[in-house]
A and B are shown apart, each in its own frame.
Chain A
Amino acid sequence: MIRSLIRNLKAVYGRVYVRIVGGNRYLHEIFADAFLPLLNLSAYVFVYKAMNAPQDLASFVIIGGVMVTFWLNVLWSMGAQLYWEKEMGNLEVFLLAPISRMAILFGMAIGGMINTSLRALATLILGLYIFNVNFNITNPILVFIIFILTLIALYALGMLFSSLFLLFGREAWHSANLLQEPIYFLSGIYFPIKYFPFWLQVIASLIPLTIGLDAMRKLIIYGHDFIDIQLHFFLLISLSIILLILAKFSLNYMEKIAKKEGRLTLKWI
């Protein structure tokens, strides 16, 4: 039992290492990841400024622009990752190892969170500096907790996607492309979703990014406290648990199908 736990923790650490070292080896990629989100973000800030919209909206857009880097990481580096691992011949090595398959996904998720946090921080600092935006935070610890909970729920969604993309996606990038824009739209990354019809707001609230963003904006821009975001807090915890269970279930199902049909390990199937 303890031996198995240590082995799984080592597998998590190994996969975190791959992601962090691999993700930071090319300087131009770090630059692109940190600076390019600023362009999109700036476009929205300028539109709001041209419309003489309240200054709050610039802060609103910056928080959305920072969080969108995590969404892109979840989609392309988590959701599509098992597909790439299969293409590289690594999936079979993972399936062959005496570890839980969740250890690999946890490793990918933690590595992705760390890598993207560094890039997001660069985007945040530059955004604040360029647009001279002030935040109104009264409870920084709560902001941090909500940020972490949002990441856990978001990456749990990524873990679920990774096996679903592999099993049902024709090509991983098609599945990722299919989801990228709708989530941009529904999560209210650059605009408040309170202008959506009610039914659309309900759908949007099933996405962890929407809930996390709304809670963080309340805490960071409007200086709210726990009482105002407790529903968000419990929703994020619930979503994290549900998505992690679903990810585990779908990963087991993926392995069963792989063994039954041979389509993930045999090239001619």
Chain B
Amino acid sequence: MSFSIETYDLTRIFKSKQSGKINIVKALDNVNLKVSKGELFGLLGPNGAGKTTLIKILCTLLFPTSGKAYVNGYDILKETSKIREIINVASGGETPGYGILTVKENLWFFSQLYGIPNKIAKERINELLEIVDLKDKANERLNKLSSGMKQKLNIARSLINDPQILFLDEPTLGLDVISAHQIREYIKFWIKEKENRTVFLTTHYMAEAEELCDRVAIINEGKIVACDTPENLKKMVSKGSSFEIEIAYINDEKINLLKSLKGIIALSFNHKIDKNLTIIKIVVENESIISDVISMILNLKSKVISLKKIEPTLETVFMSLVGKGLEND
């Protein structure tokens, strides 16, 4: 079987000086991954887990400290030009381009970096603008676009060279619900449009990974803690039970007391200050423990607004494996 991406014990260490002291950060710790051709592969992890570092190494923008990696069989250290011809990247929150140029002019410029003939470039630009719903803005200057539109333009830019392997680093970051949905739908369409296209997607949106990816790797503190299909990952935590409890607001200190209860595998929380609520997601060893949780909530002078059992999701998988929720890193 041929792979689009292979990594073997890939490790990256950053050293920086802070007030005279050398600070060492292990961004990637012996990462071993294999992504097949035609696969939509997701890398899920909290901020600082090493997702962007891994993408930068695979895209030949960063050296690994040790280990090996291959993109379409090409060595990332020795065959950079061959890799660059067949890949592209879109990072959420980045808006490359020149504010003074129009949307169309910017895309044309990026097409020239890949030597695309003018006629083909123009046809592809029109097609891409239609896909990302920016046709009306084709002659608008980049600096007049909203951040959502700029992100769509960034996605269009990443497709300008018709890459075989597309790296998407948080592609829907900062997009409104409708735009994010459009982008996700297009990614699904794009990968199936031609044979052997591969997408390597990083995200911290669980639902996005679940909706899009054939397989998902969960990364935490530079280590891959699990890698399988979303369904198999959910089966991994089927022995525990997951609940969502809506309670009157309690502070983080009290939540830590809750976490210390015996039988709790993982707990994540989200405050809704405007409604004076705290929403807790909890994975417990068995359902009987939930009564202890409720008692403790009442002892902490809060009250339970609602309680429901939830089906395992990637979020509960993540919580079970890492011990915390993505939003509580």
Contacts and interface: CB of A to CB of B under 8 A. Distances in A.
Interface string B88-115: 1100001111111100010011111111
Given A25-B100, A262-B56, A6 B115 contact: yes
Contacts of B300: none
Nearest to A17: B109
A228 B99 CA distance: 48
B52 interface: yes
A21 B101 contact: yes
Interface in A213-269: 258-262, 265-266, 269
A265 B56 contact: yes
Contacts of B157: 93
Interface residues of B, number: 35
A22 B56 contact: no
Interface stretch (B58-66, B218-226, B289-297): B58-66
B96 A265 contact: no
B93 to A, nearest CB: 9
A13 B115 CA distance: 10
Contact of B110 (A21, A22, A93): A93
From A22, A262, A269, residue with most partner B Cβ within 10 Å: A262
B211 interface: no
B97 A11 contact: no
Interface in A99-139: 99
From A17, A90, A258, residue with most partner B Cβ within 10 Å: A90
A258 B113 CA distance: 20
Nearest to B48: A268
A94 interface: yes
Interface string B219-244: 00000000000000000000000000
B306 interface: no
A97 B96 contact: no
Contact of B62 (A11, A17, A88, A265): A265
B114 A7 contact: yes
B98 A18 contact: yes
A262 B54 CA distance: 12
Interface in B45-72: 52-53, 56, 59-63
B14 interface: yes
A97 B95 contact: no
B84 A14 contact: no
B150 to A, nearest CB: 10
A10 B112 contact: yes
Given A97-B84, A265-B61, A89 B109 contact: no
Interface residues of A, number: 34
A97 B62 contact: no
A28 to B, nearest CB: 13
A95 B103 CA distance: 21
Contacts of A95: 61
Given A258-B61, A259-B61, A97 B56 contact: no
B16 interface: yes
A260 to B, nearest CB: 6
Nearest to B88: A96
Contacts of A269: 14, 16
Contacts of B16: 269
A194 interface: no
B287 interface: no
B113 A11 contact: yes
Given A11-B112, A14-B109, A90 B61 contact: no
B182 interface: no
A54 interface: no
Interface in B101-151: 101, 105, 108-116
A98 B88 contact: no
A260 B60 CA distance: 11
A265 B94 CA distance: 12
A262 B62 contact: yes
Contacts of A260: 63
A92 interface: yes
Contacts of B96: 88-90, 92-93
B286 interface: no
A170 interface: no
Given A18-B101, A98-B84, A98-B85, A92 B61 contact: yes
Nearest to B59: A96
B94 A89 contact: yes
Interface string A16-36: 011001100110000000000
16 contacts: A10-B112, A10-B113, A10-B115, A11-B112, A11-B113, A11-B115, A15-B109, A22-B100, A26-B100, A88-B96, A90-B98, A96-B61, A96-B89, A97-B114, A262-B53, A266-B62
Given A15-B109, A21-B105, A22-B100, 16 more contacts: A14-B108, A14-B111, A17-B109, A17-B112, A18-B105, A25-B100, A88-B97, A89-B95, A92-B89, A93-B96, A94-B113, A96-B59, A258-B61, A262-B14, A265-B56, A266-B52
Interface of A: 3, 6-8, 10-11, 13-15, 17-18, 21-22, 25-26, 88-90, 92-99, 258-262, 265-266, 269
Closest 5 CB pairs of A and B: A14-B112, A7-B115, A97-B113, A98-B84, A89-B96
